[in-house]
Amino acid sequence: MQPRDKKKLAASAALQYLEDDMLVGIGTGSTVEEFLLAIKERGLRLRGAVSSSRATSDRLRALGIEEFALNDVGDLPLYVDGADEATPQGALIKGGGAALTREKVVAAASARFVCIIDDSKLVDVLGRFPLPVEVIPMARSYVARRLVGLGGQPVWREGVVTDNGNVILDVHNLRIVDPRSLEQEIDRIAGVVTVGLFAHRGADEILVGGEQGVRRILP
């Protein structure tokens, strides 16, 4: 089975959390695309969605799902998003698609965060996937030096500008045994907008698509 098929399985399983007329927070990435396609295929009628990126807004528009601004709607009942890595405890690495800041905001504003992944992303210790950090452009080099001080090897994702006009440093060689404290530590570096560690507000449920179907993890 291809990773895309496993993503599809997890995405379809997340449909069970949707209710008619619901307003849903929508993440970014290929697994989320499968989720949006599944919503359309099943003919589900949402009130609309709050988007986490320009890319997702484009998809919503193409599929005829109405988009609402977070500022206009207040808190949300549900946020559905993928991840680059996830632990069974619900801590995540996100930001492979450079959408981590808006993803973190929409996740924070949502009562329930359902994470949909294929089984290659489930790990015991985060860090094999380079940790994305969104940084304001003039602070790139300073933040990179601080990240080296924390034991990582930051690599500038050249050519990528986030939806917020910032840059991304991908931090290699971290073995993240305490995601909550590392999240806090990186957040404290001046110039960091968002670290792609989602530990303080991690996933409430993880749906893992694999050869045997979908496994549901409740951290």
State in angstroms the smallest separation of the CB of 134 from ligand 5RP: 10
CB of 11 to ligand 5RP, least distance (A): 9
How many residues sit close enough to ligand 5RP to count as binding (CB under 6 A)?
Answer: 17
Q: How far is the CB of 56 from ligand 5RP (least distance, A)?
A: 9
Q: What is the distance of C-alpha 213 from the center of its chain? A: 22
Query: C-beta of 116: minimal distance to ligand 5RP in Å?
Result: 8
Quote the CA–CA distance of 210 and 198 in Å, as a whole number. 23
Torsion angles phi and psi, residue 197, rounded to 5: -95, 120
Nearer to ligand 5RP, 31 or 146 (CB): 31
Are 90 and 126 contacting, i.e. CB atoms less than 8 angstroms apart? no
Q: Is 2 helix (H, G, I), strand (E, B) or coil?
A: coil
Segment 59 to 118, residues that bind ligand 5RP, using CB under 6 A: 81-84, 94-100, 103
Residue 163 near residue 193 (C-beta atoms within 8 A)? no
Of 154 and 209, nearer to ligand 5RP (C-beta) is 209
CB under 6 A: which stretch of 15-23, 26-34, 161-169, 170-178 binds ligand 5RP? 26-34
Residue 74 in 3-state DSSP?
A: coil
- How far, in Å, CA of 81 to CA of 60, rounded? 14
Q: Which of 13, 25, 27, 174 binds ligand 5RP (CB under 6 A)?
A: 27
Active site residues: 103
Q: Residue 195: which H helix or E strand, with range?
A: strand 192-195
Q: Which residue shows structure tokens 């949402």? A: 46
194 touches ligand 5RP (CB under 6 A): no
Binding site for ligand 5RP (CB under 6 A): 27-31, 81-84, 94-100, 103
